[in-house]
Structure 1
Amino acid sequence: MSARGEKRGSYPYDALSPDVAPGSEEEQREAVATERTRKRKTRIIATLGPASESEEKIEELIARGVDIFRFNMSHASPDWVRRTSAFVRERSRRFGRNVGLLLDTQGPAIRTGDLAARLELHPGDTFTFTVRGDPSVDERSVSVNYDDLAQDLRVGDVVLVDNGVIQMKVLDKQGFRVRCEVVTPGVMGSRRHINLPGVRVNLPPLTNKDLQDIDLGVECQMDYFALSFVREANDVDLLRQILIARGSKAVIVAKIEDQAAVRNLPQILESADAIMVARGDLGIECPFEDLPIIQRRIVKICLQEMKPVIVATHLLESMTQNPVPTRAEITDIANAVYEQADALMLSGETAAGRYPLECVSVLDRVIRRTERSGGAGYATLAELTKDQQEIASAAVHLADQTRAAAICVFTRQGKLTTAVSGLRPRYSPIYALVGEEDLCRRLMLCYGSEPIASRYPTSQEEGLAIAERELRKRGAISSGDKVVLLSEVPLLGERARSVVLYQVE
């Protein structure tokens, strides 16, 4: 056994121990430089629901590290959203946290109608979908809420029901009826979700319900709107126009959930503020073996374009019923963190699962440990096309070279903070000093950044004083530390550089 093996048992060092110092001198210096900045960089988004809606649970979720709460409008009622969002806002202020609120639209979902009784389906059975109230003599049939179903489908197309559990193949069409052959067994129930992989459906990007829910979200001052079943950039542009007309500055998150969205990702990315890899429907609409590749490609492109990206769905699915995760789930989470996604989102785990608090703790624990092992480095591929991005790149390079204790960004709109975050500084936490509380919450999605409500300085000297005061208050710096300071616009009365390195006295 080697000497290093004798120190740590059968391994050169225990990779799972939180206190192990890396071996080389360079690695040890990096460990010392990052020891002070152990704050979690990857954000946690948790969905609220029956399992987590009580005041006690919400308070505990905030305490355990939830950064953004999601309201799933496929299930939420307006009164519940008003009441719960107000409580989250009040409690987060009391705890001194900038917890964001995200409204997730239901989107133009295709669903089955009501059945008198559940139907057992077996391979080889025939089953009929009817639209526009067309009656069917087949007892194995159900209505569908999408009028153009028969028009859009072709013989041989695949129809997936109940999140892909039941698979069918189209045999023929007669008027407003579509007759299918059952391929996989299952139980057909009422109001089940239908997926049509590869089929372009003639559905509006926003339904009447979505429009009502968006009005509700604006009323409740939601910080983020997640747009479901985005197919093209125009879908995002439509939501943007609606929000602007209603006076909302909320962040628009485009959910990538089908093949059309994957094909149109570059254009969608240009229109959206952030992207969500919605692996639930995406894993149904696309071949499941392609899902990891699609996820990695989306994360990589988002980092290249310096746009925040969320990885969502089935992160800790087993913990809806069990108190501990599977090893595969832990690895899945670690991979997303290693790719340096901005945020990971829990859905049913916290909304309806038995262990919502434990899920957040597990996610927090795995994220923290994985962040210490480095990242994939996709941010090195970032394309700098704007002046603000060039300024951000200069600041991050300077901070990396000097191992700065912090990067302080004075920002009025948040764009410079998003650019700095997108470049993934190696050692330095990002402190975004902003003038508005709502902008603090909108910046909570940015990887590795901590928004702080502060007035905008009028000179470079005042900016240095404000930054040092705020960082000392949080114990982020001490005498001798280096800090990189940058601002969104040149400070008034100064011709100094937009990026400044100074040492704390």
Structure 2
Amino acid sequence: MSADNPFRRTKIIFTLGPATDSEAMLEALFRAGADIVRLNMAHANHEWTRTVIRRIRAVSLRLGREVGIMMDIKGPEIRTGDLAAPIELRPGEIFDFTVRGGAPGDSPEEVRSVGVNYADLVKDVAVGDTVLVDNGLIRLEVLARNETRLRCRVLIPGPLGSRRHINLPGVKVNLPAFTDKDRRDTAVGIEENIDFVALSFVRSAADVEELRAFLAEHKSHARIVAKIEDRSAIDNLAEIVRACDALMVARGDLGIECPFEELPGIQRRAVRMCLSYGRPVIVATHMLESMIQQPVPTRAEITDVANAVYERSDCVMLSGETTVGKYPLECVQMLDRIARRVEAEDDAPAAPPPELTSEKTKLLHSAVVLANDLPDSRILTFTRYGFMARSLAALRPQRAPILAFTPSIELQRQLRLLRGVEPYVMPFGSEPDITIENAIVFLRNKGLIAPGDKLIIATDILSQDRLIDAVQLRTVR
């Protein structure tokens, strides 16, 4: 990270894959400033998952920089069945999707067809609905249906291969949010002590609560990231934001399920709602897509990343760029460069704070206001369970980094998700003042604070044999 400015507020998530799962590449990415590793369980088996989690932990330990691990579980998915060879769909062609165990069903010989893995497809979809295949590259209109098939007309043609993903814009499907595969995958993640579980295709708060009950049953403290990917999620956005620990704007499927011209507004609305409720938010998908093949991004991609930073998102995320791309390290470095430059120039006024519902949050808000008024300031806080750091991050200090100390390595990894928070592990002393002095010595020895810097300390202090919340101002000597 930059020597003159060690603190980047926007966090970087990258997805692990063949291009990045070696020890050497992990070390390079961590040194470049990556904060969280995403495991995409749509393309992972359990043996590989266990191996790479342990490798990530070993590299983190060797570097002295603990990163978070996010398991992104697959969620409900509708896919076409296997084909002996791709079918080249023609404009205007009549084509059938069948649901009888993936067999051709009762389609006549002159009508080509493919099976799907979701038996209720014929119940959920109505005549006139749209069927999108292979990330929206193929578009069909439903003409008729019966108990075994959908008859469609091809509107946008293309080659249809095996196991292609199907999207049904605006259709509410009767699929579980947390599938049997998700349960098996999450159980492995819990055994390996992952830090986050990203739940795909969240449609309501009930989906989040189902996963939360599973985590509680297995005594896991992993945080839940709700991925919004379809129209139902947009309609229920407020309840989903309230129920989750963090939100991901998953622009891949979201851009297929919703009209593409609505996507920027949906992203902005989701980020603003997360800010209003004090929830972390991740902007994901296609951020540097061209860098899968090219060493530099397009100017439009640079602006896209910058807009996510200007919106004060907590994280930006890479997918294919770091799983199979040719330039994974350059992608992380590029996000780091863009974020730092935008943050240095962002002179927008302070964001309105989330609702200040308690005396503690009001006190923390006063600490942020003070930090915004003082140049060369740092916010220093101490947290056992993450509340102080999460609340301060939600208040979005304009310049001052939040230096959060915790005695828990697990919490340190989870705090990596939060905008502006730099987490450190340190045992707490028997008295708050001793802990504060130890933290100041630690930061001074690391070169992270210098004489003249202002420290706004948000913590509890001992007063008349009891702990009370307090904000202090100290000048580094």
Scaled by the length of structure 2, the TM-score of the pair is 0.95
Query: Is 2:350–2:396's contact at 8 Å kept on the other side of the alignment?
Result: no
- 1:374 corresponds to which residue? 346
1:315 aligns with 2:271: no
What does the per-residue CA deviation read over 1:305-354, in whole Å, with 9 as the maximum and x for residues that have no partner? 11110000000111111111111101101111111110000001100111
CA RMSD of aligned residues (A): 1.8
Match 2:33 to one of 59, 65, 86: 65
1:255 aligns with 2:227: yes
Q: CA deviation at 1:376?
A: 5.0
Q: Which amino acid aligns with 1:498?
A: A
Q: Which amino acid aligns with 1:137?
A: P
Q: Which amino acid aligns with 1:124?
A: G
Q: CA deviation at 1:447?
A: 0.6
Cα 1:480/1:324, change in 2 over 3 Å = closer
Which secondary structure state, in structure 2, belongs to the residue aligned with residue 40 of structure 1? coil
Q: CA deviation at 1:388?
A: 3.2
Q: CA deviation at 1:481?
A: 2.4
Cα 1:371/1:38, change in 2 over 3 Å = farther
Query: Is 2:460–2:467's contact at 8 Å kept on the other side of the alignment?
Result: no
- 2:15 corresponds to which residue? 47
Which secondary structure state, in structure 2, belongs to the residue aligned with residue 353 of structure 1? coil
Q: CA deviation at 1:299?
A: 0.7
1:439 aligns with 2:411: yes
Q: Which amino acid aligns with 2:297?
A: P
Counterparts of 1:162-241 in structure 2, within 5 Å, are 162-241=134-213
What does the per-residue CA deviation read over 1:229-274, in whole Å, with 9 as the maximum and x for residues that have no partner? 0000010011111111111111100001011101111111111000
Q: CA deviation at 1:476?
A: 2.1
Gaps of 5+ in 2: none
Q: CA deviation at 1:439?
A: 0.5
Match 1:298 to one of 265, 270, 273: 270
Q: CA deviation at 1:504?
A: 2.4
- 2:65 corresponds to which residue? 97
- 1:30 corresponds to which residue? none
1:153 aligns with 2:125: yes
Cα 1:492/1:297, change in 2 over 3 Å = farther
Cα 1:135/1:493, change in 2 over 3 Å = farther
Q: Which amino acid aligns with 2:436?
A: L
Cα 1:37/1:484, change in 2 over 3 Å = farther
Q: Which amino acid aligns with 1:66?
A: A
Which secondary structure state, in structure 1, belongs to the residue aligned with residue 352 of structure 2? helix
Match 1:86 to one of 54, 64, 86: 54
Q: Which amino acid aligns with 2:372?
A: D
CA distance in 2, matches of 1:99, 1:415: 19
- 1:27 corresponds to which residue? none
- 2:324 corresponds to which residue? 352
Which is further off, 52-61 or 112-121?
A: 52-61
- 2:456 corresponds to which residue? 484
Query: Is 1:407–1:430's contact at 8 Å kept on the other side of the alignment?
Result: yes
What does the per-residue CA deviation read over 1:125-178, in whole Å, with 9 as the maximum and x for residues that have no partner? 111000033343345211111110000110000111000000111000022100
Query: Is 1:490–1:498's contact at 8 Å kept on the other side of the alignment?
Result: no
Q: Which amino acid aligns with 2:169?
A: P
CA distance in 2, matches of 1:280, 1:492: 56
Query: Is 1:416–1:488's contact at 8 Å kept on the other side of the alignment?
Result: no
After the TM superposition, which segments of 4 or more aligned residues of structure 1 sit over 6 Å from their partners? 488-492
What does the per-residue CA deviation read over 1:436-472, in whole Å, with 9 as the maximum and x for residues that have no partner? 1010001000111111111234434223312311221
CA distance in 2, matches of 1:97, 1:388: 30
- 2:249 corresponds to which residue? 277
Query: Is 1:339–1:376's contact at 8 Å kept on the other side of the alignment?
Result: no
Cα 1:55/1:37, change in 2 over 3 Å = closer
Which secondary structure state, in structure 2, belongs to the residue aligned with residue 372 of structure 1? helix
Q: CA deviation at 1:368?
A: 1.1
CA distance in 1, matches of 2:46, 2:467: 51
Q: CA deviation at 1:493?
A: 3.0
CA distance in 1, matches of 2:20, 2:6: 27
CA distance in 1, matches of 2:466, 2:322: 50
Gaps of 5+ in 1: 1-33
Which secondary structure state, in structure 2, belongs to the residue aligned with residue 142 of structure 1? strand
CA distance in 2, matches of 1:199, 1:500: 54
CA distance in 2, matches of 1:476, 1:238: 42
Which secondary structure state, in structure 1, belongs to the residue aligned with residue 118 of structure 2? coil
Query: Is 2:460–2:468's contact at 8 Å kept on the other side of the alignment?
Result: no
CA distance in 1, matches of 2:348, 2:320: 29
What does the per-residue CA deviation read over 1:58-117, in whole Å, with 9 as the maximum and x for residues that have no partner? 121112111111000000111101011101111111111121101000000111100111
- 1:12 corresponds to which residue? none
- 1:397 corresponds to which residue? 369
- 1:455 corresponds to which residue? 427
Which secondary structure state, in structure 2, belongs to the residue aligned with residue 49 of structure 1? coil
CA distance in 1, matches of 2:46, 2:469: 49
